[in-house]
Structure 1
Amino acid sequence: MNKSKRVIMLEFNELCPPLMDKFIAEGHLPHFKQLRDASECFITDAGEEVKNLEPWIQWITVHTGLSYKEHGIFNLGDGRELASDSIWDVLSKKQMKSWVCGSMNVNYDAKKLRGIVLPDPWSKDVEPSDDAFKPYFNFVRANVQEHTNETFKLGLKEKLSFLMFMATHGLSYQTVKAIIQQLLNERKDSNEGWKRATILDRLQWDVFKHTYKKEKPDFSTFFLNSAAHFQHKYWRHMEPEKFVMKPDSSELSIYGNAVLYAYQSLDHVVKEALAMRDDETAIVMCTALSQQPYTKADAEGGKLFYRPHDFNQLLSELQLPGVVKVSPVMSEEYHLVCESEAAAEMLEAELAEFTVAGESLFLIRREGSDVFSGCCIHHDLDRGTDIERGDQKAAGFYDIFYQADSIKSGMHHPDGLFWISTPKAHHKVHKEKLPLTSVMSKVLNVLPVETAR
């Protein structure tokens, strides 16, 4: 394989090989086509059971070369517990600089890191390696974690800190124009709000470009989740014929092209990445896994998700003591960090007492002083439904929870895309699937690194 001095790794979570082929063939993704046609192309295999197909598990595999059984990290937000070296750790030992922008479930050694790490917005304990990035990180994390909560509002101080950060970290004219256009579109039509996720993508890309040009890293990652999010929500609008529960005509007119829109937004990122690279830079694209239609629950009304209106209210109304921090992650799940392991054991027992119409209310997984939890009811409930503790009413269900997002439409699939484009590479499609555990060594083999581990 041809060597390059630098690697830009585009981490586009859960893009699907069949959809990529379809959209390219239809002419919708000219820059993905340009990258693919100058790449060695692999389909990766996550090599895991269905229950272990989660991006926060697979991205650790990408970054470490270890299977889930070997790295042992199951929950989103638990990246801090990773005991093995990731790509940037290996490169730091070789005195090579990394710029890790938004990668999922990461860990790093602050004393040994050469470069900058900006964690994903679901991070529980891992903070940006450079405090200058905290205003941006805190703003994005709050908006991503609470994007389904219509009552959530950020304070003026946080908004101003974010704006000051963006003004000095690459905010582009094109992004400002896109923001203004999005707001105008929403004023004309309130149904345009779903496109906001791609605005965050633009902001993240501006920050990535600015920092990349300033730091000149040997290795960089750029992670985006918007397409995965749209696939989970809107696959049934893209291919309604595959679902029992079909969207009505008004929903189809609004969301029918949502997944394609997400891929086209990423195509713009690919265009700019191709324009950034020089004769000594390789571009790698990886998706870790992909998705497929989720039809399993349609006969029962579809799979729904419920989140608390307010976490302080959840703790006080249900009288759950000992929690010192709540860290929301994706969908309905969150970490309840307790003041001690004993407090976590007590919380675990108390959460198990809550039911709704005879069903357990909470998912519960405890590790030390951390209880990973969330509402484990995924079907429709009547408005007058109560939460019970033993034989006593604890609260009204909808007083504590609201239905987040729409009916689940996409589920994970073990196949993923992995393309390597070095300046002198020729297009080659590998017929045999590549184990996801081999991605790390493939990436390191592109760089001038003597030993992979």
Structure 2
Amino acid sequence: MSNVILLEFNELTPAVMDRFIAQGHLPAFKRLRDESVAAVTDAGEDPPYLEPWIQWVTVHTGLSYADHKVFDLGDGPKLEAPRIWDMISDAGRAVWVCGSMNAAVRGNAIRGHVLPDPWSTGLRPIPETEFAAFFDFVRTYVQEYTRDKPPLAKSDYLRFVRFMVSHGLSLRTVTDAIRQLAGERSGLGKWRRAAVLDDLMFDVFRHDYQRLRPALATFFLNSTAHYQHYYWRNYDPAAFALAPDDGAQQEYGDAMLFGYQKMDALLDRTLQMAGPDTTVILCTALGQQPLTGYDEDGGKMLFKPLDTAALLRFAGVAEPYTIAPVMAEEFRLYFPDAAAAEAAEAQLATLTIDGKPVLKVRRTEAELYAGCDVIAPPAADALIVAGGSNEPRRFADLFYPIDSGVKSGMHHRDGILWIRTPGVAPSVIERSVSLQEIAPTVLALCGVDAPVAFAMPPMPEVVVPATAQLRAA
């Protein structure tokens, strides 16, 4: 039995990791790999079910998508099945869930702390009074990161700073943040700001880890997944027919390496914090690969509403409703009942540009899940037509491009799984490991009997040697 730290570094890619390690860029990742049972995981799904908010639910529950059926980001709380932290908490041991994607808990009686991911719409922090200032600030900042000025008041910043000062804010993080903001004065490098959020998250993670000493701690980061989605073309220009221009290459050529190196530094700090007697698991759930299918048409871009409420008024959607941004170009709408949602769905379907739909919309009872369906910049004078009497509006007056960049990374089924646990010799697993094996393996390493029947057993390459070592002791 060992305490477990589960590092959820979203979508880090096996081939990219191997390349950067071979080049000597990632000493902490190399150390962990060399000390671990190392495997490549299979996400078990193909598009449209190859999405991190689907795969992380599988990691946390042991259920395949066919069983958990959580399709959208933010829908995690709709699934009542227990997560690994629920099971460990029910066994009387402390847990610390820090940022895990599409998470949920069964009630508020969990033994420990929960800080949901920034896209969460159905789960609040536990305890809420302690984490609300941090959670609300980060959620607003992340959901509106594409804007020059996120909608935050001075009081929001003040509450956030007070929280950080009392929850582990390090001099290193302060120094890096000042250096980042100073560097942005040149007009370049704003994309690196996501790494500052990673540092802030780690300070909070370390603070509460040292306070709780939990049996299970999870720590989720997403910045490098974002870098891969937008800067893979700069990492490997030869893979693309559409080459980056010289200015973009100079700005973003090392963006993916930067992301991996920042996570390498956080891993090093985690290993120092964990010590030799704690199990450390690196799991990425899936990876990425070049997105080349749109190159002949100029690449794929994502567009987000400048003002979602204004867009809805233009479409003739009747109030009341609640808007919740999700990730990238997508957003949720909550209505009082299914009839109101159905009427709104019909109105949004009337939005067209050059005769084609502007939005992709899905309805589930009283909720709509929507996003811009335009993937190439329309002409400057291109007009959006709405049903009813509203005058057409220019596309550029209602939408703006995310990051002003062409997307160049897409998901891949292969992910990284490295497990360093006391008493188990390093090895490389040649078979492909299913994500469904991770939940029972984590429980076994924590010494908790599974209260549910998993579809797959714990990984024998890890658990059998660990059990033998425990019996010998």
Task: Give TM-score, length-normalised by structure 2.
Answer: 0.93
C-alpha distance after superposition, 1:66-90 (max 9, x if no partner): 1111001001111111121110111
Matched letter for residue 398 of structure 1: A
**Equivalent in 375, 381, 384 of residue 378 of structure 1:** 375
Indicate the SS of the match to 2:189: helix
Alignment partner for residue 138 of structure 1, among 136, 139, 148?
Answer: 136
| Counterpart position of 1:307 | 304
Matches within 5 A, 1:9-158: 9-131=6-128, 132-158=130-156
How far 1:168 moved relative to its partner? 0.5
- Tell me the residue number matched to 1:186: 184
Between the aligned partners of 1:246 and 1:155, the Cα distance in structure 2 is: 41
Q: CA deviation at 1:323?
A: 4.3
Q: Deviations over 1:159-195 (max 9, x none)?
A: 11101100100000100111111122222x2212111
* Counterparts of 1:128 and 1:383, CA distance in 2: 43
Equivalent position SS for 1:85: coil
- Which residues of structure 2 form unaligned runs of 5+? 453-473
Residue 425 of structure 1, CA deviation: 2.7
Counterpart of 2:158?
A: 160
How far apart, in 2, do the equivalents of 1:328 and 1:440 lie?
30
CA distance in 2 between partners of 1:127 and 1:65 (Å) = 23
- Aligned-pair distance for 1:423? 2.6
Distance 1:404 1:111 in 2: 36
- Cα deviation, residue 279, structure 1: 4.2
- Superposition CA RMSD, Å: 1.3
Give, in whole Å, the separation in 2 of the partners of 1:396 and 1:352.
17
Deviation at 1:30, TM superposition (A): 0.2
Percent identity of the aligned residues? 44
Residue 404 of structure 1 aligns with an amino acid whose one-letter code is I
Q: 1:204-238: per-residue Cα shift (whole Å, max 9, x none)?
A: 00000001111111101000001100000000001
1:430 Cα deviation (Å)?
Answer: 0.2
Report the alpha carbon displacement of residue 390 of structure 1 after superposing the two structures with TM: 4.2
Distance in structure 1 (CA, Å) of the matches to 2:276 and 2:377: 56
Gaps of 5+ in 1: none
Q: Cα deviation per residue 1:248-306 (whole Å; 9 max; x = unaligned)?
A: 12211111000000000000111011101134311011000000000000101111111
Residues in 2 aligned to 1:80 and 1:450: alpha-carbon distance in whole angstroms: 24
Distance 2:103 2:137 in 1: 19
| Residue 245 of structure 1, CA deviation | 1.3
Letter in 2 for 1:275: Q
Alignment partners' CA distance in 1, 2:48 and 2:366: 24
Kept in 2, the 8 Å contact 1:244–1:298? The answer is yes
1:172 aligns with 2:185: no
Relative to 1, partners in 2 of residues 1:383 and 1:99: Cα closer, same or farther, differing over 3 Å?
Answer: same
Superposed displacement of residue 396, structure 1: 2.0
Cα deviation, residue 93, structure 1: 1.5
Partner secondary structure for residue 331 of structure 1: coil
Partner-residue secondary structure (3-state), 2:279: strand
Deviation at 1:360, TM superposition (A): 0.8
- Given candidates 293, 297, 301, the residue that maps to 2:290 is 293
**1:452, distance to aligned residue in structure 2 (A):** 5.6
2:159 and 2:450 map into 1 onto residues whose CA distance is 42
Distance 2:162 2:337 in 1: 38
Q: For 2:320 and 2:117, how far apart are their aligned partners in 1?
A: 23
Which of residues 207, 228, 233 in structure 2 aligns to 1:231? 228
1:89-111 CA-partner distances (Å, limit 9, x unpaired): 11121111110000000111234
Q: For residue 226 of structure 1, what is the amino acid of its counterpart? A: S
2:213 aligned partner = 216
Aligned pairs for 1:422-433 (under 5 A) are: 422-433=421-432
Equivalent of 1:252 in 243, 249, 252? 249
Q: What letter is aligned with 2:93? A: M
Matches within 5 A, 1:430-441: 430-441=429-440
Superposed, which structure 2 residues align to 1:345-384 within 5 Å?
345-384=342-381
Distance 1:182 1:192 in 2: 8
1:419 corresponds in structure 2 to: 418
State the 1:450 CA deviation.
2.5
Secondary structure at the counterpart of residue 268 of structure 2? helix
Work out the CA distance in 2 between the residues paired with 1:76 and 1:244: 32
